[in-house]
Amino acid sequence: MIPIDILVWTGVLTFAAMGAMAAIERRFDLLGVVVLASVTAVGGGSLRDVVVGQLPPAIFRDERLLWGVLGTALAVFVLRHRLKRLRRPIYWLDTLGLGLFAALGAERGLDAGLGFWGTIFAGAVSGVGGGVLRDVLTGEVPGILYRNRDLYATAATAGAATVFALHRLDPSHMTLAVAAGAIVAIVTRIAGPVLGLRLPRG
């Protein structure tokens, strides 16, 4: 089994790369690229930690990830003209990060003694919070409110709900619950465009 720390690093740095690429597409300067990469990478986890009462957020107690985010942002900025071909691999890494963070966020909510809705919120905000903050900073309506074809927020919610349900069935196997929750979130997101699934619109 891949160590959780490696998956966390993969997810955080992938989100950082996506934030940096979004900033470059909008022609932000170098500082803007670094800021948007950072917000996208650690915003969701920081919001989650605030919700569960873990202060200061974990990211500020282990700054290695912040240095990694900075390095990723700078690398994307320097290599920006060569990275367009990597959009598909980044999509898959982003999907992995979404599933992992949604499941780990739900685990953090359960550890804090939250009930069903609190756990769902902790998992969902961990998975999609950074992207919402990124969209707000770039002047867009958050994509999760209307770009529902790939079921991004729905996938995070489904993964968090899976963790909660399996933990209730057997609290002694949290690792299994987290793995299952991550898989459910990943499959749900992939199923959206593949099967043409989408939420009803107003």
Per-residue pLDDT of the chain (202 residues; tens, 9 = 90+): 556 677 678 778 888 988 898 888 888 999 999 999 999 998 888 888 888 888 888 788 878 999 999 999 999 999 887 776 666 777 787 788 888 889 989 988 998 889 999 999 999 999 888 888 888 888 877 766 665 556 888 899 999 999 999 999 988 888 889 889 999 999 998 987 666 666 656 5
What is the chain's Cα-based Rg?
16
The Cα–Cα gap between 198 and 35 comes to: 32
The Cα–Cα gap between 120 and 106 comes to: 6
Task: Judge if pTM exceeds 0.75.
Answer: yes
The Cα–Cα gap between 122 and 7 comes to: 19
Question: What is residue 59's three-state secondary structure?
Answer: helix
Q: Is 75 exposed, middle or buried, given 0-12, 13-18 or 19+ CB atoms closer than 10 A?
A: middle
The Cα–Cα gap between 106 and 163 comes to: 7
What is the pLDDT at residue 57?
85
Question: What is residue 113's three-state secondary structure?
Answer: coil
Q: What is the 3-state secondary structure (H, E, C) of 132-157?
A: HHHHHHCCCCCHHHCCHHHCHHHHHH
The Cα–Cα gap between 102 and 80 comes to: 29
Question: What is residue 83's three-state secondary structure?
Answer: coil
103: tokens are: 């499941």
Longest dimension (CA), the chain: 50
- What is the number of other CB atoms lying within 10 angstroms of the CB of residue 85? 7
The Cα–Cα gap between 103 and 106 comes to: 5
